[in-house]
Structure 1
Amino acid sequence: MKIKLYDIAHSRAGDKGNTLTLSLIPYKSDDYATLRDQVTSEAVRNHLQAIVAGDITRYELPNLPALQFVCQQALTGGVTTSLTIDTHGKSLSYALLEMWIDV
Structure 2
Amino acid sequence: MVEKTITVRVCNMCEKTDRAVRSYTIAEGGRNLRVDLCEEDAGPIERLMATGERVGESPTKPARSTARVKKAAPAKKVASGATRRGAKVMTVEEIEALRRQS
> Is the shorter-chain TM-score for this pair beyond 0.5, marking a shared fold?
no
More strand by share: 1
Task: Calculate the TM-score normalised by the size of structure 1.
Answer: 0.19
Task: Calculate the TM-score normalised by the size of structure 2.
Answer: 0.19
